[in-house]
Amino acid sequence: MNLESPRSVADALRSVDYLPDDRISQVVFLANRLDKPILVEGPAGVGKTELAKSLARITGRDLIRLQCYEGLDEAKALYEWNYKKQLLRIQSDVDHDWGEIEQDIFSEEFLLTRPLLEAIRSEAPVVLLIDEVDRVEVETEALLLEILSDFQVSIPELGTMAARTQPIVVLTSNNTRELSEALKRRCLFLHIDYPDAQREQEILAARVPGLSEHLAAQVARVARSIRSLDLKKAPSVSETIDWARTLLALSIDDVDEEILGDTLHVLLKYQTDIEKAAKELTSSPRA
Protein backbone atom coordinates (compact mmCIF):
# COMPACT_ATOMS: atom_id res chain seq x y z
CA MET A 1 0.00 0.00 0.00
CA ASN A 2 1.18 3.44 -0.85
CA LEU A 3 2.19 5.55 2.13
CA GLU A 4 3.88 8.27 0.13
CA SER A 5 1.97 11.23 1.47
CA PRO A 6 -0.06 11.98 4.58
CA ARG A 7 -3.15 12.03 2.43
CA SER A 8 -2.60 8.57 1.00
CA VAL A 9 -1.93 7.31 4.53
CA ALA A 10 -5.26 8.76 5.59
CA ASP A 11 -7.02 7.18 2.62
CA ALA A 12 -5.45 3.82 3.27
CA LEU A 13 -6.44 3.90 6.93
CA ARG A 14 -9.95 4.93 5.98
CA SER A 15 -10.21 1.97 3.68
CA VAL A 16 -9.87 -0.33 6.70
CA ASP A 17 -12.39 1.71 8.70
CA TYR A 18 -9.85 3.52 10.83
CA LEU A 19 -10.58 7.24 10.60
CA PRO A 20 -7.42 9.20 11.30
CA ASP A 21 -7.22 12.93 11.96
CA ASP A 22 -4.53 15.13 10.43
CA ARG A 23 -2.16 14.45 13.27
CA ILE A 24 -2.37 10.70 13.08
CA SER A 25 -1.88 10.46 9.34
CA GLN A 26 0.99 12.94 9.41
CA VAL A 27 2.84 11.03 12.10
CA VAL A 28 2.30 7.67 10.45
CA PHE A 29 3.60 9.10 7.21
CA LEU A 30 6.68 10.47 8.96
CA ALA A 31 7.36 7.24 10.80
CA ASN A 32 7.33 5.41 7.53
CA ARG A 33 9.50 7.98 5.82
CA LEU A 34 12.07 8.36 8.58
CA ASP A 35 11.95 4.77 9.82
CA LYS A 36 11.22 5.82 13.37
CA PRO A 37 9.04 4.14 15.97
CA ILE A 38 5.80 5.86 16.98
CA LEU A 39 4.99 6.34 20.64
CA VAL A 40 1.23 6.67 20.93
CA GLU A 41 -0.13 8.09 24.14
CA GLY A 42 -3.64 8.87 25.28
CA PRO A 43 -6.52 7.76 27.45
CA ALA A 44 -7.70 4.17 27.29
CA GLY A 45 -9.90 3.21 24.38
CA VAL A 46 -9.19 5.93 21.84
CA GLY A 47 -7.78 3.53 19.29
CA LYS A 48 -4.07 3.35 20.09
CA THR A 49 -3.79 -0.40 19.66
CA GLU A 50 -6.27 -0.26 16.83
CA LEU A 51 -3.92 2.06 14.96
CA ALA A 52 -1.20 -0.59 14.98
CA LYS A 53 -3.64 -3.26 13.87
CA SER A 54 -4.90 -1.06 11.06
CA LEU A 55 -1.35 -0.34 9.97
CA ALA A 56 -0.72 -4.05 9.73
CA ARG A 57 -3.85 -4.43 7.66
CA ILE A 58 -3.11 -1.68 5.17
CA THR A 59 0.48 -2.76 4.65
CA GLY A 60 -0.43 -6.43 4.54
CA ARG A 61 2.16 -7.19 7.19
CA ASP A 62 1.98 -9.53 10.13
CA LEU A 63 1.41 -7.97 13.49
CA ILE A 64 3.74 -9.05 16.27
CA ARG A 65 2.51 -7.93 19.65
CA LEU A 66 4.38 -7.61 22.88
CA GLN A 67 2.00 -6.98 25.75
CA CYS A 68 3.89 -5.28 28.55
CA TYR A 69 3.28 -5.89 32.21
CA GLU A 70 5.07 -5.36 35.47
CA GLY A 71 7.83 -7.91 35.75
CA LEU A 72 8.34 -8.39 32.02
CA ASP A 73 11.95 -9.40 31.50
CA GLU A 74 14.47 -10.17 28.82
CA ALA A 75 13.52 -13.82 28.69
CA LYS A 76 9.95 -12.97 27.81
CA ALA A 77 10.52 -9.94 25.62
CA LEU A 78 13.70 -10.68 23.70
CA TYR A 79 14.98 -14.23 23.66
CA GLU A 80 15.78 -17.15 25.89
CA TRP A 81 18.07 -20.13 25.55
CA ASN A 82 16.24 -23.38 25.40
CA TYR A 83 17.88 -24.97 28.46
CA LYS A 84 16.11 -28.25 28.17
CA LYS A 85 17.08 -28.79 24.60
CA GLN A 86 20.64 -27.74 25.36
CA LEU A 87 20.77 -30.20 28.22
CA LEU A 88 19.48 -33.02 26.09
CA ARG A 89 22.05 -32.14 23.47
CA ILE A 90 24.83 -32.36 26.02
CA GLN A 91 23.57 -35.61 27.49
CA SER A 92 23.06 -37.28 24.13
CA ASP A 93 26.57 -36.58 23.02
CA VAL A 94 29.08 -37.44 25.73
CA ASP A 95 31.90 -38.44 23.38
CA HIS A 96 32.43 -35.12 21.73
CA ASP A 97 34.84 -32.47 22.72
CA TRP A 98 33.30 -29.85 25.06
CA GLY A 99 34.40 -26.96 22.90
CA GLU A 100 32.53 -28.38 19.97
CA ILE A 101 29.39 -28.93 21.99
CA GLU A 102 29.55 -25.44 23.42
CA GLN A 103 29.77 -24.01 19.93
CA ASP A 104 26.81 -26.07 19.01
CA ILE A 105 24.44 -25.41 21.88
CA PHE A 106 24.73 -21.65 21.60
CA SER A 107 23.50 -21.55 18.06
CA GLU A 108 20.25 -20.31 16.68
CA GLU A 109 18.78 -23.75 16.87
CA PHE A 110 18.63 -23.48 20.64
CA LEU A 111 17.31 -19.98 20.74
CA LEU A 112 13.72 -19.36 21.70
CA THR A 113 12.71 -16.12 20.04
CA ARG A 114 10.35 -13.82 21.90
CA PRO A 115 8.29 -11.06 20.23
CA LEU A 116 11.05 -8.46 19.91
CA LEU A 117 13.60 -10.81 18.42
CA GLU A 118 10.95 -12.38 16.27
CA ALA A 119 10.12 -9.02 14.75
CA ILE A 120 13.79 -8.47 14.02
CA ARG A 121 14.36 -11.91 12.53
CA SER A 122 11.26 -12.04 10.41
CA GLU A 123 11.83 -12.58 6.69
CA ALA A 124 8.78 -10.57 5.74
CA PRO A 125 8.42 -7.04 7.07
CA VAL A 126 6.16 -6.82 10.12
CA VAL A 127 4.39 -4.35 12.32
CA LEU A 128 5.68 -4.59 15.87
CA LEU A 129 3.26 -3.45 18.55
CA ILE A 130 4.68 -2.87 22.03
CA ASP A 131 1.52 -2.42 24.01
CA GLU A 132 1.20 -0.45 27.24
CA VAL A 133 4.88 0.17 27.57
CA ASP A 134 4.27 2.32 30.65
CA ARG A 135 3.58 -0.84 32.61
CA VAL A 136 7.12 -2.13 32.63
CA GLU A 137 9.64 -0.85 35.14
CA VAL A 138 12.05 1.88 34.11
CA GLU A 139 14.91 -0.62 34.12
CA THR A 140 13.15 -2.89 31.65
CA GLU A 141 12.57 -0.01 29.30
CA ALA A 142 16.26 -0.08 28.56
CA LEU A 143 15.78 -3.42 26.81
CA LEU A 144 13.83 -1.64 24.13
CA LEU A 145 16.33 1.07 23.37
CA GLU A 146 18.61 -0.92 21.09
CA ILE A 147 15.69 -2.10 19.02
CA LEU A 148 14.11 1.30 18.77
CA SER A 149 17.15 3.18 17.60
CA ASP A 150 19.09 0.61 15.59
CA PHE A 151 16.59 -2.17 14.93
CA GLN A 152 18.96 -4.79 16.24
CA VAL A 153 19.40 -7.11 19.21
CA SER A 154 22.71 -8.06 20.75
CA ILE A 155 23.02 -11.58 22.09
CA PRO A 156 26.33 -12.11 23.89
CA GLU A 157 26.86 -15.65 22.60
CA LEU A 158 25.81 -14.98 19.03
CA GLY A 159 26.67 -11.40 18.33
CA THR A 160 24.42 -8.69 17.01
CA MET A 161 21.35 -9.56 15.05
CA ALA A 162 20.23 -6.81 12.76
CA ALA A 163 16.76 -6.54 11.34
CA ARG A 164 16.33 -8.35 8.05
CA THR A 165 13.54 -6.03 7.10
CA GLN A 166 12.50 -2.71 8.50
CA PRO A 167 9.60 -3.19 10.90
CA ILE A 168 7.03 -0.50 11.63
CA VAL A 169 7.16 -0.11 15.39
CA VAL A 170 4.26 1.24 17.43
CA LEU A 171 4.48 1.71 21.19
CA THR A 172 1.42 2.58 23.21
CA SER A 173 1.21 4.14 26.63
CA ASN A 174 -1.64 5.09 28.92
CA ASN A 175 0.63 7.56 30.62
CA THR A 176 0.36 6.00 34.05
CA ARG A 177 3.95 6.98 34.54
CA GLU A 178 6.50 9.17 32.86
CA LEU A 179 8.54 7.22 30.30
CA SER A 180 12.28 7.72 30.26
CA GLU A 181 13.79 10.48 28.17
CA ALA A 182 15.94 7.96 26.33
CA LEU A 183 12.90 6.09 25.12
CA LYS A 184 10.96 9.18 24.14
CA ARG A 185 13.89 10.64 22.27
CA ARG A 186 13.96 7.69 19.92
CA CYS A 187 10.31 7.91 19.00
CA LEU A 188 7.90 10.16 17.23
CA PHE A 189 5.36 11.25 19.78
CA LEU A 190 1.66 11.03 19.01
CA HIS A 191 -0.94 12.03 21.53
CA ILE A 192 -4.41 10.80 20.65
CA ASP A 193 -7.28 12.35 22.54
CA TYR A 194 -10.97 11.69 22.34
CA PRO A 195 -12.17 12.66 18.87
CA ASP A 196 -14.43 15.68 18.43
CA ALA A 197 -18.11 15.01 17.93
CA GLN A 198 -17.88 15.14 14.17
CA ARG A 199 -15.07 12.65 13.82
CA GLU A 200 -16.67 10.40 16.39
CA GLN A 201 -19.84 10.45 14.35
CA GLU A 202 -17.86 9.35 11.30
CA ILE A 203 -16.16 6.63 13.32
CA LEU A 204 -19.54 5.38 14.48
CA ALA A 205 -20.87 5.39 10.95
CA ALA A 206 -17.88 3.38 9.76
CA ARG A 207 -17.83 0.93 12.63
CA VAL A 208 -21.52 0.34 13.21
CA PRO A 209 -23.20 -0.53 9.94
CA GLY A 210 -26.87 0.26 9.84
CA LEU A 211 -26.66 3.17 12.23
CA SER A 212 -28.76 6.11 11.09
CA GLU A 213 -27.09 9.45 10.73
CA HIS A 214 -29.39 10.99 13.27
CA LEU A 215 -28.58 8.39 15.91
CA ALA A 216 -24.85 8.58 15.21
CA ALA A 217 -24.95 12.32 15.74
CA GLN A 218 -26.88 11.91 18.96
CA VAL A 219 -24.54 9.25 20.29
CA ALA A 220 -21.50 11.36 19.48
CA ARG A 221 -22.98 14.40 21.18
CA VAL A 222 -23.97 12.50 24.28
CA ALA A 223 -20.47 11.03 24.48
CA ARG A 224 -18.89 14.46 24.23
CA SER A 225 -21.26 15.81 26.80
CA ILE A 226 -20.47 13.01 29.25
CA ARG A 227 -16.74 13.42 28.73
CA SER A 228 -16.96 17.04 29.79
CA LEU A 229 -18.06 15.90 33.25
CA ASP A 230 -15.52 15.15 35.93
CA LEU A 231 -15.64 11.37 35.96
CA LYS A 232 -13.49 8.59 37.22
CA LYS A 233 -13.37 6.99 33.81
CA ALA A 234 -14.70 8.83 30.78
CA PRO A 235 -16.33 6.73 28.08
CA SER A 236 -13.86 5.58 25.44
CA VAL A 237 -14.50 5.43 21.74
CA SER A 238 -14.90 1.68 21.93
CA GLU A 239 -17.54 2.17 24.59
CA THR A 240 -19.50 4.62 22.46
CA ILE A 241 -19.34 2.10 19.65
CA ASP A 242 -20.70 -0.52 22.03
CA TRP A 243 -23.43 1.84 23.06
CA ALA A 244 -24.39 2.53 19.45
CA ARG A 245 -24.53 -1.20 18.81
CA THR A 246 -26.70 -1.66 21.88
CA LEU A 247 -29.10 1.01 20.71
CA LEU A 248 -29.21 -0.58 17.29
CA ALA A 249 -29.90 -4.00 18.78
CA LEU A 250 -32.75 -2.58 20.81
CA SER A 251 -34.03 -0.99 17.59
CA ILE A 252 -34.05 2.46 19.10
CA ASP A 253 -33.81 5.28 16.62
CA ASP A 254 -34.02 8.25 18.89
CA VAL A 255 -32.31 8.65 22.25
CA ASP A 256 -34.22 10.38 25.00
CA GLU A 257 -33.50 10.78 28.67
CA GLU A 258 -35.17 7.57 29.67
CA ILE A 259 -33.30 5.42 27.20
CA LEU A 260 -30.05 7.11 28.14
CA GLY A 261 -30.72 6.41 31.80
CA ASP A 262 -31.40 2.76 31.04
CA THR A 263 -28.35 2.16 28.89
CA LEU A 264 -25.80 4.36 30.62
CA HIS A 265 -24.05 1.32 32.08
CA VAL A 266 -22.74 0.48 28.62
CA LEU A 267 -20.88 3.78 28.50
CA LEU A 268 -19.75 4.07 32.09
CA LYS A 269 -18.24 1.41 34.26
CA TYR A 270 -18.37 2.94 37.74
CA GLN A 271 -21.54 3.26 39.74
CA THR A 272 -20.57 6.72 41.00
CA ASP A 273 -19.97 7.85 37.42
CA ILE A 274 -23.30 6.48 36.25
CA GLU A 275 -25.14 8.28 39.03
CA LYS A 276 -23.35 11.50 38.35
CA ALA A 277 -23.90 11.41 34.59
CA ALA A 278 -27.54 10.46 35.04
CA LYS A 279 -28.01 13.39 37.36
CA GLU A 280 -26.29 15.84 35.04
CA LEU A 281 -27.81 14.73 31.78
CA THR A 282 -31.34 13.92 32.69
CA SER A 283 -32.11 16.82 34.94
CA SER A 284 -33.51 20.06 33.59
CA PRO A 285 -31.17 21.92 31.24
CA ARG A 286 -28.48 24.07 32.70
CA ALA A 287 -29.19 27.75 32.62
Partner 1 sequence: MLGVITGFIDELRAAGVPVSMVEAIDGMRAVEAIEIGERVALRETLRATLIKNQRHERAFDTAFDVYFSTVPLPDSTPIEEGSRPDLPPPDRGDGSERAPFDIDALLDDLLQALARLDEEAMRRGARTAVDELAGMEPGRPVGGTYYLYRTLRRLDLADLEARLIEALMEDEDLSEFDQRLLREEIETRLERLRQEIEEEIRRRLVADRGRDAVARTLRRPLIEDIDLMHATTRDLQEMEAAIGPLTRKLAARLARRRRKRAGRLDFRRTMRKSLATGGVPAEPQFRHPRPHRPEVWLLCDISGSMATFSRFTLQFTHAMATHFSKLRSFAFVDTIDEVTDFFGAGVDFGSALQRVTTEAEVVWLDGHSDYGNSLETFNTTYGRQLTPRTTVIITGDARNNYRPPRDKVLGEIAEAARALVWLNPEPRAYWDTGDSAMSHYAAHCTSVHEVRTLRQLEQFIEELTLPGTRASQNA
List residues binding partner 1 (CB under 8 A).
Answer: 6, 22-23, 26-27, 29-30, 33-34, 36, 39, 41, 83-84, 87, 91, 137, 175-178, 181, 184-185, 187-191, 196-198, 218, 221-222, 224-225, 228, 230-232, 254-257, 260, 270-272, 276, 281-282, 285-286
Residue closer to partner 1 (CB basis): 70 or 123 = 70
Q: Shortest gap between Cβ of 179 and partner 1 (angstroms)?
A: 8
Nearest Cα neighbor of 79 from 126, 125, 121, 39 is: 121
Residue closer to partner 1 (CB basis): 67 or 189 = 189
Residue closer to partner 1 (CB basis): 123 or 283 = 283
Residue closer to partner 1 (CB basis): 217 or 266 = 217
- DSSP string over 207-250: HSTT--HHHHHHHHHHHHHHHTS--SSPPPHHHHHHHHHHHHHT
Residue closer to partner 1 (CB basis): 96 or 233 = 233
Q: Shortest gap between Cβ of 97 and partner 1 (angstroms)?
A: 21
Q: What stretch of H or E contains 143?
A: helix 138-150
Q: Shortest gap between Cβ of 62 and partner 1 (angstroms)?
A: 25
The alpha carbon dihedral of 244, 250, 255, 258 has a sign of: negative
Let me know how many helices (H) and strands (E) the chain has, helices first. Answer: 14, 9
Q: Shortest gap between Cβ of 177 and partner 1 (angstroms)?
A: 5
Residue 139, burial from CB neighbour count under 10 angstroms (0-12, 13-18, 19+): exposed
